A = this chain, B = another copy of it.
């Protein structure tokens, strides 16, 4: 999803972070929390997941200004063992809740090999890798789960929103309308009553496995934590009530198992990377490789070029919130 072909200014990473933080501070977020959100959103853009980057800023601003998200609060632990914790996000910012929870999970994993932390009363927490990579940096495995509004699955939704920003249709098979008919129109796909097919698609192609996975994510996010779940969650982009999203975080210490974890994992990744591609122009990748390529391209370019539609949204935000416009070269 490279976005470097547009006739828009090149925005340095630091400038994107500055803009996001100042917008959130303008609506009442403390600087530390606003900076956390800036780190979260720009990490998404940097890694190539533009749906979860600057694209989310207006939604987060709306959550705060509507009063359905409290940008000032800190999460708190309600119950814990040496290996688990149950957290009340107190309806705070998603990145604030997420950073708190993964830190607790990491501490427990270091002490007893595994840490499982679930949170209720949270808000949209952005890209999962923001949290899992914090575990990885400590030599641990990290996993993160979240639920979201019932309109879409978290993973598929992004593509449709980016297609909407671009004004192009989506491929057949991604979404269905309220009567169960496939649609390629982004507006129809984002209309109430429409929904996305689970990973795998139809039953014959094992779509029920993707559906089962969605169940698993809902259990780790909301059924354990006591957050709102499934169809009870407020519709996407609405702010008539709190989101009360749920998250789950797992950190695992490989040193509690066989030695040389990292060398085995590297070997497996390299074996797969070196396998012969079906299309020679598309090398075989492992999870994280496409993000590394994207980050290298951003580094080389010296910044990010956002879509014209996104720049327009940022201009409106800067006017509305009286924040210095997002500026590049």
Contacts and interface: CB of A to CB of B under 8 A. Distances in A.
Contact of A173 (B205, B212, B225, B257): B205
Given A215-B287, A258-B224, A155 B209 contact: yes
A27 B186 CA distance: 61
Interface of A: 79-84, 86, 112-114, 116, 118, 120, 141, 155-156, 171, 173-174, 180, 199-201, 204-206, 209-210, 212-213, 215, 218-219, 222-226, 229-231, 252-254, 256-261, 264-265, 268, 271-272, 278, 286-287
A157 to B, nearest CB: 12
Contacts of A116: 113-114, 252
Nearest to A200: B199
B82 A223 contact: no
Contacts of A171: 204-205
Contacts of A215: 286-287
Nearest to A171: B204
Contacts of A173: 205
Nearest to A248: B257
Given A79-B257, A200-B200, 20 more contacts: A82-B112, A83-B114, A84-B257, A86-B257, A112-B112, A120-B258, A141-B219, A155-B206, A155-B209, A171-B204, A180-B278, A200-B201, A212-B287, A215-B286, A218-B268, A219-B265, A222-B264, A224-B258, A225-B258, A226-B259
Most buried by B among A79, A112, A114, A225: A114
A223 B264 contact: yes
Given A113-B116, A229-B268, A156 B206 contact: yes
